[in-house]
Chains A and B, each alone.
Chain A
């Protein structure tokens, strides 16, 4: 298929529809509004459900209901709206329901602004909602990757019976880039998709069948039973941590003097700066976590070459993934951080300057 020039917000919506999502519930917010508007236009054309909810709280609970029926369902929002979804996300994780949540991050805290930021890393990867749960979190850095992640996210959600978040930002949402889409799933394929969840999801009692009574639930009043349940979740998360690491190595070699770590939009800027210092004969590598939970701790540590003086973390926040990087590096070499906040995005020239300084140290 030919490439189409599209905004990230629209590309991920189109990709979700192609991967069999026929239910979408959301509430408008900048900078993700093109996503909800695309769904409003396109869902009726594929006999799907588009519903503008009264709030993000309602939207995520509609997702809970639809996911309880085993159907592919999605919601999207931006930072303040994602905060409202956190209660629902905890319930979805507790009840082990598959769904996809997109966060097109903006500046915070509070109402913040509507420019791109990466301030929701902690919220996405370290809880956000209450209780002992994990969210699979994928962080795209291009429109193509944003779109590709839609189908990957649904597959992961179905495989692990867990909510999956795509953690993008206003830059990726608003930016136009050429994107190539997968062949859409057929109506027949989509109609049968829920059958993989037949053993637990809400469905009619077929006449003649042994009557089932399925419960979509996160309550377990008996502490011994809840302990069992949470331990079962923990075992599942351990499998995800083993199987679903995803990261990109960029310019990694034994010559690296600095190892950068950056994710999402920030990583694109860092790559440009790496190319510029490379032209001057300096070797700087980059590890870009693609999934930020699970986080590639060991692989990051292994990527620290023999000549690396410093691991340098660049984020559009005040240092959030930084904590994970420090755990990964475990004191092997010094870890430094530089970031920009408030929706201000650093430039390749600024990163280059930081790298040059560090190379001189």
Chain B
């Protein structure tokens, strides 16, 4: 028998806890493949967020820390400063990173902290049952914006890549999507580049992955992707905002 695809070494054999059709699993796989590709499995450490991916500390096959909600960049800072011989990544959702953890991500980026941040944006609080996130789109219905997000009341979604792009220190900032096989291939390249730069000690690298939440959007996985393509991508435009390595 010929083995065509196996689990990356950087993932444990613990089964994922995600809903069917959820793209967190794809994002995990991309991060794990990049860690394998760059031979970092023995020197990588990771930080899991609070959100649907809270159990990421069980899924990644390396030493992991589970952070308080939003605090992953601060925890990763402490880890990297204590272990400069190792490499660190955080994996965070949009509520975690762009609401409660806004200060931590902005300041880690501003310090040019040596870490890779993988930011999974599904425009909603998945884990707590579909409340409004800082990234929820205008007029989008959630359990805490039951009449749609009213921008004159609660403002507009936050574009985190653009926000971080105003800072001097970050080395690499790119937004990709997980919404089609072609997009996933592009995402794979971006994730790999972030890990490569991390390995080379270049500084702060940030990849936003546009994702879905079929369960809380009330759509099946395929329709979710279509909805995201139609509504998320025009607002959260994929593309590389900053690549000091390519300059």
Taking Cβ atoms with an 8 Å cutoff, the residues of A that contact B are 23, 25, 49, 51, 53-55, 57-59, 61-69, 71, 73, 87-88, 91, 95, 201-207, 211-219
Contact = CB atoms under 8 A, between A and B. Distances in A.
Given A91-B68, A215-B66, A202 B58 contact: no
Interface in B38-86: 41-43, 45, 47, 54, 57-58, 61-68, 71, 74-83, 85-86
Given A204-B86, A213-B12, A213-B61, A51 B77 contact: yes
B36 interface: no
A66 B65 contact: no
B79 A202 contact: yes
Given A54-B107, A69-B82, A73-B82, A61 B63 contact: no
Contacts of A54: 103-104, 106-107
Contacts of B103: 54-55, 57-58
Contacts of B106: 54
Interface in B104-120: 104, 106-107
Contacts of A213: 12, 61-64
Given A62-B77, A68-B79, A215-B58, A204 B42 contact: yes
B74 A57 contact: yes
A202 B79 CA distance: 8
B54 A219 contact: yes
A73 B83 contact: no
Given A205-B62, A207-B42, A217-B57, A65 B77 contact: yes
Contacts, number: 129
Contacts of B66: 95, 215-219
Contact of B74 (A61, A202, A207): A61
A69 B67 contact: no
A87 B81 contact: no
22 contacts: A23-B81, A53-B74, A54-B106, A58-B74, A61-B78, A61-B104, A65-B76, A65-B82, A66-B79, A69-B78, A69-B79, A73-B82, A91-B68, A202-B65, A202-B83, A203-B63, A203-B83, A204-B85, A211-B61, A214-B64, A215-B57, A217-B64
Given A49-B81, A54-B104, A202-B45, A214 B63 contact: yes
Nearest to B65: A216
Contacts of A206: 42
Tell which of A62, A88, A212 has the most Cβ of chain B within 10 Å.
A62
Contacts of A204: 42-43, 83, 85-86
A91 B41 CA distance: 27
